[in-house]
Amino acid sequence: MKALIITWTSRIRDSYWFVPSLLAIGALVLSFVTTEMDNRLGSEWLENIGWLYANEPAGARAVLSTVAGSMITVAGVTFSMTILSISYTTSQVGARLLNNFMRDRGNQVTLGVFISTFLYCLMVLRTVRNAESAPHGNAGQQELASAFVPHIAVIVGIMLAILSVAVLIYFIHHIPESIHISNIVAGIGGDLNRQIDDQFPARIGKPHDDVTERQVESNLPKAFYQTAKTIRSKGSGYVEFVDTDGVMKIAVDNNLTIRMRFRAGDFITPGNVLMLASPDSRVSDEIVDQLRATFVSGAQRTAKQNLRFVFNQLVEVAERALSPGVNDPFTAINCMDWLQSALEHLAEREMPDAYRYDSDHQLRIVAEPETFSDFASLVFDQLRPYVAADRNASIHMMEMMAKVALSTTCDSHRRLLVRHAGALRRQCKRALTDQRGMKLLSDRYRSMVWLLRDPLYRQQVLDTGNWVGGRA
């Protein structure tokens, strides 16, 4: 249940209708509040304020009708502009970025302000009446109702109209700014770094107290699988969220050891083994339902727990930019700069252990974690075929690898990056015909190898910032 609540809360918060709906409800409440204030205060207070104009019923209707009509028209225009800009941008940078535009607070607030102003004026307009209008329910009596003009409500309506004009000016600036490719890439890159901070180190249980006993790959004995009960999925879709705290609580409460098989972002089909729980003698049908409920799946991948999805967004933009139909290597270079930032950030983080323990140092959850190697492969292996065919992009990727290798303190990370650099150099030899470009690429590759082999050279590069030359 917790996983479902968190998932739906996230969907509602990021939806395009949530903020406008809240503002619309606020406008309805405000209309009742202001008209009630007018009922209680009357219009005598205006006599002592010379710069305020007391409206007649016809004038109040004209003002409110003009504001309401113009606001619903502008709302339609801004909505059309938003959809058109989203359609154009996603066709250029990828459909997976649609949700990034949908949850743009600027677009949501703009639409909400216009709709709210329209609803507010519409609700206030119904309360304006002329002196000859008979009160409701007294049609048969001779006494007529006096004129009623909600002066406070009308003034608030005019203020909302002025606010809407200011929001319109902001919106006209915001739309071209939000679809600028550099801002799009920077937004994804910022999200990626924030996701790394949120997800690493893993917050499910605790790793082994002895650092030497920690391991990334799981290697459970055969006895575990012989005594484990399989928990299978019932539906199809992408795993959007896994309630890891809930899994840990179930494991502790029932003295179980659980082997996780799927994680956020994976695609599941009916009958897939979500997890194994041992011993099976302690796993009742109720516990099976509870464990199955910790997984929430849907029609699309989300960034909630899936760091790979955010990496893939930047990789997709870079791949599209390097495709023959677009041929925009500088956008790809922009994406690689943010990928470099993310990999440098990730290299500093403590990678999770496959074995997670409870507070009593009992093994509770075993899950294959995502490592720096996985994310490096996600970036370099996917981009390499596209980058190798472009001189500027390939040289920049080699420099990107060298900078990540220079920033990390882990030798295994450096060796991994040198292997990726070697693969890029080999593929560029087959694809590039520019000999000068190939020489620059080879020089950077040799400098990168020396960064791995020679600590003194590495320190020299850190001190001077000049890593090309010298050892190359």
pLDDT digit string (tens) for 249-266? 999 999 999 998 888 889
Q: Which of 54-68, 83-97, 159-173 is predicted most confidently?
A: 159-173
Confidence of residue 423 (pLDDT cuts 50, 70, 90): very high
Percent of the chain whose predicted confidence (pLDDT) is above 90:
36
Spatial strand order in the sheet of 295-298 = 267-268, 237-242, 295-298
> What pLDDT was estimated at residue 100?
76
Q: What is the pLDDT of residue 216?
A: 52
Flag the least confident range among 69-83, 144-158, 169-183, 371-385: 144-158
Q: Which residues pair with 134 in a beta bridge?
A: none
pLDDT score for 142: 46
Per-residue pLDDT, averaged over 220-231, amounts to 84
Distances (CA, A) of 255 to 281, 292, 356, 459: 11, 17, 14, 51
Q: How far is CA 433 from CA 156, 388, 427, 437, 439, in A?
A: 69, 11, 12, 8, 11
Give the single-character DSSP code of 211: G
What's the farthest any 2 CA atoms get from each other in the chain? 105
Task: Choose among 359, 265, 353, 271: nearest CA to 311.
Answer: 265
Helix axis angle for 455-464 and 391-407, nearest 10°, is 110
Q: Which of 21-35, 49-63, 328-342 shows the lowest per-residue confidence on average (mean pLDDT)?
A: 49-63
**393 vs 45, higher pLDDT:** 393
- Element housing 297 (H / E): strand 295-298
Using alpha carbons only, what angle is made at residue 86 by residues 82 and 88, rounded to the nearest 5 degrees? 120
In this model, does residue 469 exceed pLDDT 50? no
Classify burial at 110, counting beta carbons within 10 Å of its beta carbon; exposed 0-12, middle 13-18, buried 19 or more.
Answer: buried
| Residue 412, SS3 per DSSP | helix
Burial 208-231 (b: 16+ CB within 10 A, else e): eeeeeeeeeeeebeeeeeeebbbb
Q: Does pLDDT of 192 surpass 70? A: yes
Q: Quick check: 116 and 156 in contact, CB under 8 A?
A: no
243 φψ region: left (φ > 0), alpha (ψ -120 to 50), beta (else):
beta
Question: What is the Cα–Cα distance from 302 to 306, expressed in whole angstroms?
Answer: 7
Q: Are 447 and 471 in contact (CB under 8 A)?
A: yes
Chain-centre distance for alpha carbon 262: 21
The residue among 228 and 461 whose pLDDT is bigger is 228
Q: Which DSSP helix (H) or strand (E) runs through 279?
A: none
Tell me, what's the pLDDT at 393? 93
C-alpha distances (whole Å) from 180 to each of 85, 88, 173, 341 are 11, 11, 11, 20
Mean pLDDT of 162-175: 93
pLDDT score at 377: 94
Q: For 303-353, what is each residue's pLDDT tens digit?
A: 888 889 999 999 999 999 998 888 889 999 999 999 999 999 998 887 777
Q: Collect all residues with Cβ–Cβ distance below 8 Å to 408 and sequence separation of at least 6.
A: 344, 347, 348, 414, 417
R_g over Cα of the chain:
31
- Lowest-pLDDT choice from 37-46, 55-64, 130-139, 356-365: 130-139
The tokens for 253 are 């409460």
The full 3-state SS of 80-126, as one line of letters, equals HHHHHHHHHHHHHHCHHHHHHHHCCHHHHHHHHHHHHHHHHHHHHHC
